[in-house]
């Protein structure tokens, strides 16, 4: 890649010159080099999003087919992965911030984790076949075991192994952009980044989702090989620059404990950060119900192919809207855009409750479902467009990974606890409503309550941001400040 290290790292900031638009830290790009950088990052992003779309959308169907109750679905798909995120994300983020290697501080983690992510993704695809084989081996000494129980247990174990290595990717990949993409081009890059992710989701929903139950192993195998090869090539082709040495590590017997105390003291040092974490916790708790929304669609008469087509069209429209919404975020500030998105989410969740009170014919139910998906589109795109820029605007740049990790930890709490409670909530509704799958229509009620709560905290974040200077004067508060 056409990027060369500069010899002026750490020099006093100078007024931005035209050539500085192509600089990121010690990296200086030519136009061709910047194009190449974007090409590799966006190709890696496409395959990453495809992988991240497949496993959480297909595994609930597989677990349900094996007889797993709702709380087990929530435990395996949301709570366990999020509990792991809570523990591992700050560790990975902090180590990555401080690591200095021949290939940089982000790329080595991607290269290490990608082969293992690929392997466990393949094994998840063959979990039904592997579960049947293990059940056959164990059926002699343990005749009470069922094939479904063995398969569900195997999927749970494989999800833990997969998630362990996938967390290295899902944590460090986002920090890489801040280290290699010039600030002057960040908005355009993030706009294209979101478009590529939306296209990946559209292709999955249009062409692959219908085969989720009938060709699970082939689907997982193909996506795993595509992702693994693409991400390895991207990690080898993208180059990081040089970084100043990290702050010295405190000496003493309890060095690890000192790191932990410093992490929490700095990350939770100011009111605005604590409010952001609270918003994230509640918003992620609201999202835990999403794995059950496909079963709500089934309950009103839609088929898996119809659900896939609606989602695919929505993803394509989202791709078209991503760039203009990115410009909207730049103009009006991501915090304002997120406030608008949350109000919209509440409106959509409220409208989705119509399925509790009206029994539509199947053709009508399809168009009502599709219409509500269309209503949700601009708010979903607005929220996606504003998420990462909000973190970049509100968190300290020099400890960006650390503060993102703290935010992710709080989100993990929301998902872990919310996932268990959401599954339990639906199982409770099932006890009161005998009609098959009708209880899934209560899923939007869960979203409505928690999004409304997260919206209240977002308003408090906005008020604190205004107090600290707002559009013209906000600077991320010093980590040593107290409030």
pLDDT at 455 over 50: yes
Q: What's the full length of the chain, in residues?
A: 483
67: left (phi over 0), alpha (psi -120 to 50) or beta: left
Compute the average pLDDT of residues 274-293.
93
**What is the DSSP code (8-state) at residue 302?**
-
Q: Which of 72-76, 159-163, 258-262, 400-404 has the lowest mean pLDDT?
A: 258-262
Q: Which residue has the higher pLDDT, 420 or 10?
A: 420
pTM summary value: 0.74
Average pLDDT of the chain is 86
pLDDT at 187 over 50: yes
206 band by pLDDT with thresholds 50, 70 and 90:
confident
Q: Which residue has the higher pLDDT, 125 or 21?
A: 125
pLDDT at 15 over 50: no
20 band by pLDDT with thresholds 50, 70 and 90:
low
Q: State residue 11's pLDDT score.
A: 35
Phi and psi at 171, nearest 5°, equal: -95, -55
Phi and psi at 14, nearest 5°, equal: -115, 160
pLDDT at 465 over 50: yes
Compute the average pLDDT of residues 144-155.
90
**What is the DSSP code (8-state) at residue 29?**
E
109 band by pLDDT with thresholds 50, 70 and 90:
very high
Task: Quick: pLDDT tens for 229-268.
Answer: 999 999 999 999 888 887 776 565 445 566 677 788 888 8
Domains and CATH numbers, the chain: 23-244 (1.20.1250.20), 257-483 (1.20.1250.20)
Of 311, 128, 298, the C-alpha closest to 216 is 128
Q: State residue 480's pLDDT score.
A: 57
6 band by pLDDT with thresholds 50, 70 and 90:
very low
Cβ within 8 Å of residue 334, ≥6 positions away: 385, 386, 387, 389, 390, 393
Q: State residue 460's pLDDT score.
A: 96
Tokens 């247990």 sit on residue: 153
Q: Which residue has the higher pLDDT, 254 or 76?
A: 76
Sheet-wide strand order for 3-5 = 3-5, 27-29, 23-24
Q: Which of 72-76, 248-252, 380-384 has the lowest mean pLDDT?
A: 248-252
Compute the average pLDDT of residues 202-222.
89
């Amino acid at each position: 890649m056409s990027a060369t290290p500069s010899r002026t790292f750490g020099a006093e900031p100078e007024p931005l010159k035209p050539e500085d638009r192509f600089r990121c830290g010690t990296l200086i790009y030519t136009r061709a080099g910047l194009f190449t950088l974007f090409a590799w990052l966006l190709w890696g992003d496409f395959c990453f999003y495809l992988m991240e779309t497949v496993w959480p959308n297909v595994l609930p169907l597989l677990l349900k087919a094996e007889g797993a109750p709702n709380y087990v679905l929530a435990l395996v798909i949301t709570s366990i992965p999020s509990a792991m995120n809570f523990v591992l994300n700050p560790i990975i983020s902090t180590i990555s911030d401080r690591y200095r290697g021949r290939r940089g501080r982000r790329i080595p983690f991607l290269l290490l984790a990608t082969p293992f992510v690929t392997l466990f993704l393949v094994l998840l695809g063959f979990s039904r076949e592997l579960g049947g084989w293990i059940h056959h081996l164990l059926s002699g000494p343990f005749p009470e075991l069922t094939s479904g129980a063995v398969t569900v247990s195997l999927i749970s174990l494989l999800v833990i192994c997969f998630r362990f290595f996938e967390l290295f990717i899902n944590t460090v990949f986002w920090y890489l952009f801040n280290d290699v993409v010039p600030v002057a081009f960040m908005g355009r890059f993030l706009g294209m980044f979101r478009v590529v992710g939306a296209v990946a989701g559209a292709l999955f929903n249009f062409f692959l989702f219908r085969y989720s139950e009938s060709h699970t192993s082939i689907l997982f195998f193909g996506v795993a090989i595509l992702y693994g090869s693409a991400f390895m090539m991207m990690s080898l082709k993208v180059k990081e620059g040089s970084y100043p040495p990290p702050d010295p590590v405190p000496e003493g017997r309890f060095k690890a404990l000192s790191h932990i105390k410093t992490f929490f003291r700095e990350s939770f040092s100011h009111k605005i950060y604590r409010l952001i974490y609270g918003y994230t916790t509640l918003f992620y708790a609201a999202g835990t119900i999403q794995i059950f929304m496909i079963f709500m669609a089934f309950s009103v008469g839609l088929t898996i192919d119809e659900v896939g087509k609606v989602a695919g069209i929505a993803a394509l429209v989202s791709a078209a809207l991503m760039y203009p919404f990115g410009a909207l975020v730049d103009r009006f500030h991501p915090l304002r855009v997120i406030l608008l998105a949350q109000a919209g989410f509440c409106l959509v969740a409220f409208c989705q409750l119509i399925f509790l009170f009206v029994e539509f014919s199947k053709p009508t139910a399809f168009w009502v479902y599709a219409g509500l998906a269309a209503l949700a589109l601009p708010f979903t795109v607005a929220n996606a467009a504003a998420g990462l820029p909000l973190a970049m605007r509100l968190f300290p740049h020099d400890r960006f990974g650390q503060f993102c990790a703290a935010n992710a930890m709080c989100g993990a709490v929301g998902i872990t606890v919310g996932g268990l409670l959401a599954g339990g909530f639906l199982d409770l509704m099932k006890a009161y409503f005998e009609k098959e799958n009708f209880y899934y229509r209560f899923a939007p009620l869960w979203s409505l309550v928690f999004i409304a709560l997260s919206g209240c905290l977002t308003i408090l974040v906005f008020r604190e941001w205004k107090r600290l200077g707002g559009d013209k004067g906000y600077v991320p508060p010093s980590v040593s400040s107290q409030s």
